[in-house]
Structure 1
């Protein structure tokens, strides 16, 4: 009730219990249900199938709960084959691939639905005659490449969905004390590394499945920026800035050092003797390039492929495709400043 009252005061909107619904899981006991409804003064236990244009996250998120395929098919049928290839390219990039952006940024779409959307776009591009699809002269994998690499720059719907969901996981990293984050996660996320290493259960909600899906891609590009080194694990966390791999390449062997702070002197500078003992030359050269903090600043997480550590959709897609992360090949070695 305190959360609802705080929401009402901040938005100047009163909540009408008669128009509100509450949903309980199958494992919830009847006495708990009755107590929750009594406190919140809610009576209805059924949700509408859709809310704000999104399917209600109840049960398994199957293809039937999404309307993206029907909307796209309707748009394509309205245009039919009365467009030149240039017009089709504009329609695909501006309309066909943008219809599902809103829902893709919230839920992990079933892979079958992503493939169906791709099939509709592919058939529209190559056209059809008398109900039969025309010849595909170029493999669709090539069409997904940028124009500079011989493609058309179309989006892979699976990769696009995952790239959009990265934003949710990124927000939890940047703002761990969030109103909508469970309390037991707030305590762990303040350690940052705990959230990055989180393993979600198989029966998690569709919302957490979406965050988990985005987190898989986020792990490939996130990097720790070194301050005092007390929160960064040497052998487990990504903290060495380079183009292809942010973790240590050197084997741990019998090294007892655990935290990056143990590699620093009291004034925050690198203890040059320790890296020479425990790391290989390829790691030593990159570690010595890292500018540490002399003011005992805390470590923080940044987006490695960008020089300023800022997360962008273009960089997310590049990381997912496995393309080079820096245009000049040196961007990842430049430390972000605070």
Structure 2
């Protein structure tokens, strides 16, 4: 025996689909406090409903608190740029790799990051001379290369689609295949709604399809007209095929 014991003061029990009396009965039986959704687990909010902007408030506050100790420091613009990318932009990466965050959440991130970068030292508010979208452009396009959290969020979620196509093994893949995919193709067929993670994948899969190049084998998972399987892009984008779209064609 390891000698470890359950700390009931730190334990909570969450119930779904029962009355308040039944909830309290379960909590008393397990000698735990009665918790509620959403709750935090490994830094992420877990909920029985779709998460809204207010549920992500602790993550936004975390970014703001990390920037606050630096606001009074006399840092050069280059130093603030490095800290913005290396620290402030990396704090929400874990959440962005699992959830597709709403625009309101990214606006909170941008508020704290832009305030830190533009205002620098002192408590006096300063003007933000360039729109934040322009600042987040790559340096080759005239920006400063600051991470665009919204685009990074889409990239991180698209990586899960790539892992499915690469036939990566794991419990997460088994759940998605058995519950949602079954014998259907991820890009070819429409799927039912489900968890927030699955709904996020469904939302961004058209973006993934724009840049994914297919290697045709049996053809069951390749769409002839809209998938990129030959040349420089999909047939529908080829000037040679500018006529009416063929109906019902598949790869």
State which of 145, 164, 175 in structure 1 corresponds to 2:167: 175
State the distance in 2 between where 1:229 and 1:235 align: 12
Q: Does residue 103 of structure 2 align to residue 108 of structure 1?
A: no
Residue 294 (structure 1) aligns with:
none
Q: Deviations along 1:60-116, whole A, 9 cap, x unmatched?
A: 211232222111111111111412111101100100000000000001112101011
State the distance in 2 between where 1:199 and 1:229 align: 17
Name the CA shift for 1:80/1:255 in 2 (closer, same or farther; >3 Å): closer
Residue 182 (structure 2) aligns with:
187
Tell me, yes or no, if the aligned pair for 2:44 and 2:95 is still in contact at 8 Å.
yes
Name the CA shift for 1:49/1:118 in 2 (closer, same or farther; >3 Å): same
State the distance in 2 between where 1:154 and 1:223 align: 28
State the distance in 1 between where 2:246 and 2:97 align: 43
State the distance in 2 between where 1:235 and 1:120 align: 44
Deviant stretches of 4+, over 3 Å: 18-24, 43-48, 128-132, 197-201, 227-233, 251-260
The structure richer in helix per residue is 2
Residue 68 (structure 2) aligns with:
77
Residue 209 (structure 1) aligns with:
199
State which of 23, 26, 46 in structure 2 corresponds to 1:56: 46
Q: Deviations along 1:170-219, whole A, 9 cap, x unmatched?
A: 22222287322252534234xxxx31144455x63212222223323211
Q: How many residues align?
A: 223
3-state secondary structure, aligned to 1:188: coil
Q: Deviations along 1:266-296, whole A, 9 cap, x unmatched?
A: xxxxxxxxxxxxxxxxxxxxxxxxxxxxxxx
Normalised TM-score (structure 2): 0.73
Over the aligned positions, Cα root-mean-square deviation in angstroms equals 3.5
3-state secondary structure, aligned to 2:229: coil
Q: Does residue 211 of structure 2 align to residue 221 of structure 1?
A: yes
State the distance in 1 between where 2:194 and 2:218 align: 36
Tell me, yes or no, if the aligned pair for 2:188 and 2:221 is still in contact at 8 Å.
no
Point out the more displaced range, 71-80 or 61-70.
61-70
State the distance in 2 between where 1:113 and 1:230 align: 39
Tell me, yes or no, if the aligned pair for 1:126 and 1:135 is still in contact at 8 Å.
yes
Name the CA shift for 1:199/1:143 in 2 (closer, same or farther; >3 Å): same
